[in-house]
């Protein structure tokens, strides 16, 4: 158990480091741009440079699990080291795994990413609610037990999602709004009057985002920087609870690599814009 709920710890980190989430996305194109081989060795050099640059500059760091998973067990070993090093440095992390299933399988995913004893343990994890928000109960329960966090995909920034997530239910709510509302109910029950462990992902590029006033949990906002959204878009979406909104940047920072100091400078420049 980590003490304060994840939401409270993330808000505190945002006050001291700025409200920014920085991605570690070692895909093949970026490895090449950094002059690295598309191999485990290249993956490790890329990742460790990011850890060194981000550990004391970003409030939240988000390794994209897929780019480690494609190298199998050796890739996961690099991810384990990165998560451990960031944790030791006092930097909060979110494993961008986007897991979603039911029953004991979801419980297994919860253990993998949020259990104290797991080598892949992160401060939070992204999950998909499209088997039903209620199916995610095992990860919500473990997050509550350990003081870790969960970011539920609600209204994502990719264009393919709009037709599904903007669909309305029998009560006139969009699917995205229903996801937010169900997460808000969980936070209100577990942490009345405070910040809870359950957050959502809402694309900063969206013209009509879901209402977030009652969530009382953190919001991860992808789509800024290279995808076109800016600080004003983030501020508009988070106008009722700005302290809970964390702009997610990746390419606009990672293009500064492989030099660690330039990466660090890129983070601080983004913090000045979004923090």
More confidently predicted of 139 and 170:
139
Domains assigned to the chain: 6-274 (3.20.20.70)
Using 50, 70 and 90 to split pLDDT, how confident is the model at 229? confident
Using 50, 70 and 90 to split pLDDT, how confident is the model at 226? low
Q: What is the pLDDT of residues 10-62, one digit of tens each?
A: 999 999 999 999 999 999 999 999 999 999 999 999 999 999 999 999 999 99
Q: Which of 62, 98, 145, 236 is catalytic?
A: 98
State whether residue 60 is helix, strand or coil.
Answer: strand
Q: What is the pLDDT of residues 140-169, one digit of tens each?
A: 999 999 999 999 999 998 889 888 898 988
Task: Say if residues 75 and 69 touch (Cβ distance below 8 Å).
Answer: yes
- Report, in angstroms and rounded to the nearest whole number, the Rg of the chain calculated over CA atoms: 17
User: At residue 61, what are phi and psi to the nearest 5 degrees?
Assistant: -120, 135
Give CA–CA dist 275/263, Å, rounded.
17
Q: Is the pLDDT of residue 83 over 90?
A: yes
Give the predicted TM-score (pTM) of the model. 0.96
What does the block give as tokens for 2?
Answer: 């980590």
Q: Give CA 56 to chain center in angstroms.
A: 17
State whether residue 61 is helix, strand or coil.
Answer: strand
Using 50, 70 and 90 to split pLDDT, how confident is the model at 275? low
Q: β-strand 245-249 against 219-221: which pairing, if any?
A: parallel
Q: Give the pLDDT of residue 159.
A: 84
In the chain, pLDDT over 70 holds for what percent of residues? 98
Q: Is the pLDDT of residue 221 over 90?
A: yes
State whether residue 149 is helix, strand or coil.
Answer: strand
Q: Give the pLDDT of residue 169.
A: 80
- Is 98 catalytic? The answer is yes
Instruction: Select from 270, 157, 261, 266 the least CA-distant residue to 219.
Output: 157
103-114 and 137-146 helices, crossing angle to 10°: 30
């Amino acid at each position: 158990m980590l003490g304060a709920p994840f939401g409270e710890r993330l808000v505190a980190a945002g006050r001291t480091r700025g409200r920014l989430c920085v991605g570690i996305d070692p895909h093949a194109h970026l490895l090449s741009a950094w002059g690295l081989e598309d191999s485990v060795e290249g993956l490790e050099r890329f990742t460790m440079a990011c850890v060194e640059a981000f550990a004391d500059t970003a409030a939240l760091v988000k390794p994209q699990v897929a780019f480690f998973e494609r190298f199998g067990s050796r890739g996961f070993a690099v991810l384990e080291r990165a998560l451990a090093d960031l944790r030791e440095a006092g930097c909060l992390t979110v494993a961008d795994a986007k897991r979603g299933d039911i029953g004991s399988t979801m419980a297994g995913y919860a253990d993998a990413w949020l259990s104290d004893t797991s080598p892949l343990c992160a401060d939070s994890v992204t999950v998909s609610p499209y088997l039903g928000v209620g199916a995610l109960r095992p990860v919500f329960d473990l997050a509550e037990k350990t003081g870790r966090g969960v970011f539920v995909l609600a209204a994502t920034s990719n264009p393919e999602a709009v037709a599904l997530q903007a669909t309305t239910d029998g009560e006139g709510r969009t699917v995205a709004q229903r996801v937010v509302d169900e997460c808000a109910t969980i936070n209100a029950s577990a942490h009345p009057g405070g910040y809870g462990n359950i957050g959502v992902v809402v694309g900063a590029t969206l013209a009509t985002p879901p209402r977030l006033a009652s969530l009382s949990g953190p919001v991860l906002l992808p789509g800024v920087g290279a995808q076109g959204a800016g600080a004003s878009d983030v501020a508009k979406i988070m106008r009722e609870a700005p302290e809970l909104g964390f702009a997610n940047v990746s390419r606009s920072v990672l293009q500064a690599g492989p030099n660690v100091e330039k990466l660090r400078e890129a983070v601080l420049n983004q913090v000045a814009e979004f923090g």
